């Protein structure tokens, strides 16, 4: 099966809102294993139209999944249209399609399961986008490692909450996340990613929300999805990826979310016409911890079992999954 066929069957499976065997087959495979199973994985945007956004999940696990162990899920990051990364983990280089060298990285926060400067420098990344609240700290670290390793230093770009920044045809608006690090000045971020959005057309408006405990009110207002006394004009999102770190709520709920909470948020947004996806498009959870997998009697669920137990329309992403988020009028 070639990759185009793989993508098409994956899309057909998604249109039916259920997972086919193709998706399950690819779960947990790196690019070499995928190439053996499906033919060469390339960087091109094969199945997406020029208005659509191709998202490749390079990892879908929380920090607990360690590279080198029996890997089911790598740390979470995504590749957008083959050219922009959100976060750069230890396993990104291994999971990138063949010949694909994205030059732009947007970071969510400084936790090591999201931020690995040495690996990014080795790949030769040229532009790094980080919250103004910790960009100086990151710049110092990048410069030190670049000097030690004799690698070229990328340009560092500070990001401000709510201020959009465009890279080619993708626009990123940083939004505040409910997530803390040990550097208390740092504001962790989630992103609204827009493609082809104009005053007349929604295009693709994808909310990528990890790591965060729920969605902060300010983030929802800036994204245009708050229906509660907002002075910012409403604008629905058309795609939704959110973290589902916790199998059930525990002491980490001030920093992370459960799949059920993601489903509830999607339901509320859809009810208020603030989430208008193409028909049949799932909400994807990523950044899953072990407890999402292993909620009953130590039984480790397969991808199919996990999806069967997740509330509609939530589906579990997996490492190497590619999803085409279609533009909406």
218 versus 252: smaller Cβ distance to Zn ion: 252
| Among 40-48, 210-218, 228-236, 238-246, the segment contacting Zn ion (CB under 5 A) | 210-218
Nearer to Zn ion, 178 or 220 (CB): 178
Q: Which of 211, 226, 319, 322 binds Zn ion (CB under 5 A)?
A: 211
Smallest distance, Zn ion to C-beta of residue 186, A: 11
Window of 24-32, 167-175, 204-212, 244-252 that interacts with Zn ion by CB under 5 A: 204-212
- Binding segment toward Zn ion, per CB under 5 A, in 98-106, 159-167, 203-211, 216-224: 203-211
What DSSP string describes 107-169? -S---TTTB-HHHHHHHT--EEEEETTTHHHHHHHHHHHHHHHT-PPPEEEEE-TT--EEETT
Range 260-263, long-range pairs (CB < 8 A, 24+ positions):
260/311, 261/214, 262/314, 263/310, 263/311, 263/312, 263/313, 263/314
Task: Considering only residues 54 through 113, tell me which ones interact with Zn ion, judged by CB under 5 A.
Answer: 111
Based on the shown chain and the rule CB under 5 A, indicate whether residue 243 belongs to the binding site for Zn ion. Answer: no
Stretch of 127-135, 162-170, 206-214, 234-242 lying at the interface with Zn ion (CB under 5 A): 206-214
- Measured from each CB, the residue nearest to Zn ion is 111
Q: How far is the CB of 58 from Zn ion (least distance, A)?
A: 16
- Closest to Zn ion by CB, 31 vs 111, is 111
CB atoms closer than 10 angstroms to residue 33 = 12
* Shortest Cβ 211–Zn ion spacing (Å): 4
| Closest to 189 (Cα-Cα) out of 74, 290, 90, 111 | 111
Binding mask 249-288 for Zn ion (x = CB under 5 A): ----------------------------------------
Output the smallest distance, CB 109 to Zn ion, in A.
Answer: 6
In angstroms, the CA 45 to CA 4 distance is 10
Burial state string for 285-318 with b = 16 or more CB within 10 A and e = fewer than 16: bbbbbbbbbeeeeeeebebbebbeebeebbbbbb
How distant, in Å, are the alpha carbons of 210, 275, 293 from that of 283? 13, 10, 18
- Using an 8 Å Cβ cutoff, are 181 and 111 in contact? yes
Pick the closer one to Zn ion by CB: 257 or 303. Answer: 257
Residue 203, beta-bridge partner list: 328
Tell me the window of 54-62, 88-96, 197-205, 211-219 that interacts with Zn ion (CB under 5 A).
Answer: 211-219
- Contact present, 106 and 84 (Cβ < 8 Å): yes
CB nearer to Zn ion: give 73 or 111: 111
Query: Which residues contact Zn ion (rule: CB under 5 A)?
Result: 111, 211
């Amino acid at each position: 099966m070639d990759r185009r066929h793989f993508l098409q069957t994956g899309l057909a499976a998604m249109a039916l809102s259920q997972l086919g065997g193709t998706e399950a087959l690819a779960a947990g495979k790196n690019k070499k294993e995928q190439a053996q199973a499906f033919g060469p994985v390339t960087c091109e945007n094969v199945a997406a139209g020029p208005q659509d956004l191709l998202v490749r999940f390079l990892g879908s696990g929380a920090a607990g999944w360690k590279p080198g162990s029996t890997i089911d899920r790598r740390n979470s990051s995504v590749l957008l249209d083959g050219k922009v990364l959100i976060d750069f983990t230890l396993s990104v280089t291994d999971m990138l399609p063949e010949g694909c060298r994205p030059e732009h990285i947007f970071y969510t926060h400084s936790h090591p399961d999201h931020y690995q400067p040495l690996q990014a420098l080795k790949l030769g990344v040229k532009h790094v986008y980080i919250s103004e609240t910790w960009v100086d700290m990151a710049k110092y670290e990048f410069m030190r490692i670049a000097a030690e390793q004799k690698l070229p230093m990328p340009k560092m770009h500070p990001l401000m909450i709510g201020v959009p920044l465009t890279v080619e045809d993708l626009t990123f608006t940083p939004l505040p996340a409910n997530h803390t690090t040990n550097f208390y000045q740092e504001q962790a971020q989630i992103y609204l990613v827009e493609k082809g959005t104009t005053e007349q057309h929604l295009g693709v408006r994808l909310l990528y929300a990890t790591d965060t405990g729920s969605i902060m009110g300010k983030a929802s207002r800036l994204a245009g999805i708050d229906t509660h006394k907002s002075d910012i004009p409403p604008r629905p999102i058309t795609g939704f990826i959110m973290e589902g770190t916790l199998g059930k709520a525990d002491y980490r709920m001030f920093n992370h979310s459960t799949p059920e909470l993601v489903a509830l948020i999607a339901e509320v947004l859809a009810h208020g016409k603030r989430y208008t996806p193409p028909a049949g498009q799932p909400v994807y959870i990523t950044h899953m911890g072990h407890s999402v997998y292993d909620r009953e009697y130590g039984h480790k669920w397969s991808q199919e079992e996990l999806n069967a137990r997740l509330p509609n329309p939530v589906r579990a992403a997996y490492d190497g999954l590619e999803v085409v988020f279609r533009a909406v009028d």
